[in-house]
C-alpha cells in the first residue's frame, strides 16, 4: 500500500514538472512579444547610455540626441547584415573586420556583458 502511494505521488510530481516545462516552452505569442520588446528596450538603454555603449558618440542612431558623425549612421541593419550573428560580431569586436577601427571592441575588452551585447544586437537589428 505504502509503496503504491509513493509511486503515485512520484508520478504526480513528474506530470506536474512536465506540464510546467510545456507551459514554459509554449509561450503565448503576446508574452513572447512582450519579452522581445523588453530586450529591445534594454538594448537601446545600454546603447544610448554614455557610460555604457555610448554608440551616439560616433553614430547617428534612431532618435538619439546630439549624435557624433565620425562613424556611419546605424540604419537598414537587416539589409546590411542578413546574418544577425555578423552584426553581433561587429559590436563584439569591430577590429575583426577592420584592424584599424576606432570602434571599441565591446565584447573582447569586456566593456559590455555578453547579455548587454545580445540586447544591443536585437535593438540595432530593428533600425
Kindly list the residues in this chain that would bind ligand HEC in the complex (CB under 6 A). 47, 53-55, 57-59, 70-72, 74, 80, 87, 90-91, 94, 98, 101-104, 106, 120, 124
Could you tell me if 43 and 123 are in contact, meaning their C-beta atoms sit under 8 angstroms apart? yes
Could you tell me if 54 and 111 are in contact, meaning their C-beta atoms sit under 8 angstroms apart? no
- Choice between 2 and 51, CB closer to ligand HEC: 51
- Choice between 45 and 71, CB closer to ligand HEC: 71
> In whole angstroms, how close is the CB of 82 to ligand HEC at the nearest point?
12
- Choice between 60 and 103, CB closer to ligand HEC: 103
Amino acid at each position: 500500500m505504502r509503496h503504491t502511494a509513493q509511486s503515485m505521488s512520484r508520478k504526480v510530481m513528474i506530470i506536474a514538472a512536465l506540464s510546467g516545462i510545456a507551459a514554459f516552452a509554449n509561450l503565448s505569442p503576446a508574452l513572447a512579444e512582450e519579452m522581445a520588446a523588453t530586450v529591445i528596450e534594454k538594448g537601446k538603454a545600454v546603447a544610448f547610455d554614455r557610460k555604457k555603449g555610448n554608440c551616439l558618440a560616433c553614430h547617428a542612431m534612431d532618435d538619439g540626441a546630439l549624435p557624433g558623425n565620425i562613424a556611419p549612421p546605424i540604419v537598414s541593419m537587416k539589409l546590411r547584415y542578413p546574418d544577425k550573428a555578423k552584426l553581433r560580431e561587429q559590436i563584439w569586436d569591430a577590429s575583426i573586420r577592420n584592424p584599424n577601427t576606432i570602434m571599441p571592441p565591446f565584447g573582447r575588452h569586456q566593456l559590455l556583458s555578453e547579455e548587454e551585447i545580445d540586447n544591443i544586437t536585437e535593438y540595432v537589428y530593428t533600425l
